Amino acid sequence: MANDPTVTIINNANGSRHEYPLKFGSLGPGAIDISSLYRESGVFTYDPGFMATASCHSAITFIDGDQGVLLYRGYPIEQLAARASFLEVAYLLYYGELPDEKQLGEFEQIIMRHTMINENLKDFLDGFHYDAHPMAILCGVVGSLSAFYHDSIDVNNPRYREVSAHRLIAKLPTIAAASYKHYIGEPFMYPRNDLRYCANFLYMMFATPCADYEPSLIAEKALNLLFILHADHEQNASTSTVRLAGSSGANPFACIAAGIASLWGPAHGGANEAVLDMLTEIGHVDNVPKFIARAKDKDDSFRLMGFGHRVYKNYDPRAKIIREVCHQVLAELADNKNPLFDLALELERIALEDEYFVERKLYPNVDFYSGIIYQALGIPRSMFTVMFALARTVGWVSHWTEMMSDSALRIGRPRQIYHGSPPRDYVPISKR
Ligand code: SDX
């Protein structure tokens, strides 16, 4: 717009000088709109890891990394974690407003009516090796859903987009629990539509056909909180993966499968499983200094898993909440005994007194304590990232829908700085 503030870029290499508008949203830093840069000046920008790149406009989640602020559609995560249900937050993230009682009731009914998966998917699940990692199963099965819903994945049809989002939110718990049952060799449990979302997931995870099972309220409340905390987080690696896949017009199930694949990495959602492996390897508080030294050693690839964050240069607000819930859950489920939690608390204390971590503003992130709770709920480590993916599906489908509803959507196609060979002619093999 004509009265937008501008930034002038002077190219000293060729003396060109161009002005670019500075765009601002409702909160947070502005961004230089450089969409015409290459056309006008023949150069690209270079920002590996997108440290300073805004890839899109979004109204879903806001993070202030310096202040440790996280807002879902403007609501502070602390308030939603303390007072909302996960499906209430799912409605908020997807539709943009908190639901009234009627809207929430209808939404819960819709979601619970989509929880079953096609019976043929059970054959697909049985095709996996008995000890296949549940994330491998989740990635494959979610991607295969497009084979069952080819009649309603016209990504340009808003109603089909909404139905696909409902199906994904509803079916992820069923597929996640089924991947666990496959892993432990127990029969698959069908969803129960008389149970609330988190209770139903616990039922599908831990019930068997041989005995009655009622999910514990403590476990349901803990899951509800953890799912809210993991539901969305702006343009993180997996959400950006979903957006880039979706920008080509790929179907929503394929896009979410791509997000699951990206989340699996230990630098991202795979960190929650890696934290428990790390705490187990450390074993005792006497070993903490040795591992802290390894984390600081540039020649050692070891990193303190669950520590550090691209955006938070303050305590991750989600980690603060989860640490408090750890105390409550362990008090109620494990009479306060959990040596790994004690070790985690001591590791955090020592790290946060160490100049290396303080200087780099490395604090515990969402993954540092979450596994302690999952373990206390009887969920195995191999399922920790599956839990993350289950909750983050709400954020992924919300971002996918926001992007697909934008008439200005174009396929994402970054460029590069080329360091390869200049043009050269083919050499016959006899002359090589
Ligand atoms: C999630 O983006 C999101 O929002 C993600 C997420 C979400 O909700 O979607 O919040 C979920 O992925 C949380 C992060 C989970 N990952 C981990 O816990 C893995 C351990 N953390 C790191 O790998 C790292 O901190 C990242 C990947 C999280 C962030 O990496 P950055 O922003 O690229 O930071 P960096 O690697 O450039 O580190 C800056 C410095 C480096 O040292 P110097 O080169 O300056 O000397 O800090 C050091 C790093 O070596 N450092 C660490 C460290 N993390 C960073 N050193 C030891 N242990 C660590 N964990």
pLDDT digits (tens, 9 = 90+) for 235-254: 999 999 999 999 999 999 99
SS3 1: coil
Question: Residues 6 or more apart from 159 whose CB is under 8 A from it?
Answer: none
Pocket test for ligand 1, best of 241, 310, 347 (most atoms within 8 A of CB): 310
What distances in angstroms separate CA 282 from CA 112, 155, 269, 295, one per listed residue? 42, 48, 21, 12
Which atom of ligand 1 sits closest to the CA of residue 269? 12
Lowest-pLDDT range of 2-11, 86-95, 188-197: 2-11
Q: Is 399 in the pocket of ligand 1 (CB under 6 A)?
A: no
Give the distance (Å) from ligand 1 centre to CA of residue 237: 12
pLDDT at 150: 81
Q: Is 267 in the pocket of ligand 1 (CB under 6 A)?
A: yes
pLDDT at 80 over 90: yes
- pLDDT digit string, tens, across residues 385-401: 999 999 999 999 999 99
Is residue 303 within 8 A of residue 278, CB to CB? The reply is: no
pLDDT in tens, 265-305: 999 999 999 999 999 999 999 999 999 999 999 999 999 99
H helices of 214-307, in order, are 217-230, 237-246, 252-263, 271-282, 288-296
Q: Identify the H or E element spanning 290.
A: helix 288-296
For residue 10, the cross-strand partners are 17
Work out the number of other CB atoms within 10 angstroms of the CB of residue 203: 21
Between the CA of 298 and the centroid of ligand 1 the distance, in Å, is: 14
Which band of pLDDT confidence, cut at 50, 70 and 90, is reported for residue 332? confident
Q: Which atom of ligand 1 is nearest to the CA of 51?
A: 32
- pLDDT value of position 1: 56
* Average pLDDT over all residues of the chain: 95
Question: Residues in the chain, how many?
Answer: 432
Residues 6+ apart with CB under 8 A from 361: 313, 314
Active-site entry in 232, 233, 268, 367:
367
Q: Is the CB of 357 under 6 A from ligand 1?
A: no
Taking residues 47-74, what's their average pLDDT?
97
Residue nearest to atom 47 of ligand 1 (CA): 360
Nearest CA to ligand 1 atom 1: 268
The whole model's pTM is what? 0.95
**309 noted as active-site residue:** yes
Please give the average per-residue pLDDT across 149-162, as a whole number: 90
The response to whether residue 70 sits with its C-beta less than 6 Å from ligand 1 reads no
Q: Ligand 1 pocket test: which of 51, 309, 318, 387 has the largest number of ligand atoms within 8 Å of its C-beta?
A: 309
18 is a catalytic site residue:
no
Tens digit of pLDDT for each residue in 22-44?
A: 999 999 999 999 999 999 888 99
Band (pLDDT 50/70/90 cuts) for residue 338 is confident
With tokens 């994330």, the residue in question is 135
The predicted pLDDT at position 44 comes to 95
**Strand, coil or helix: what is 216?**
coil
Distance between Cα 363 and ligand 1 center (Å): 10
**Closest by Cα among 114, 107, 176 to 141:** 176
pLDDT at 152 over 90: no
Q: What is the predicted pLDDT for the residue at 323?
A: 93
Name the 3-class secondary structure at 278: helix
Residues 63-72 pLDDT 10s: 999 999 999 9
Where residue 191 falls among pLDDT bands split at 50, 70, 90?
A: very high
Q: Residue 2: its pLDDT value, please?
A: 63
* pLDDT of res. 153: 82
pLDDT tens-place string over residues 362-371:
999 999 999 9
Q: Given this model, what pLDDT does residue 43 score?
A: 92
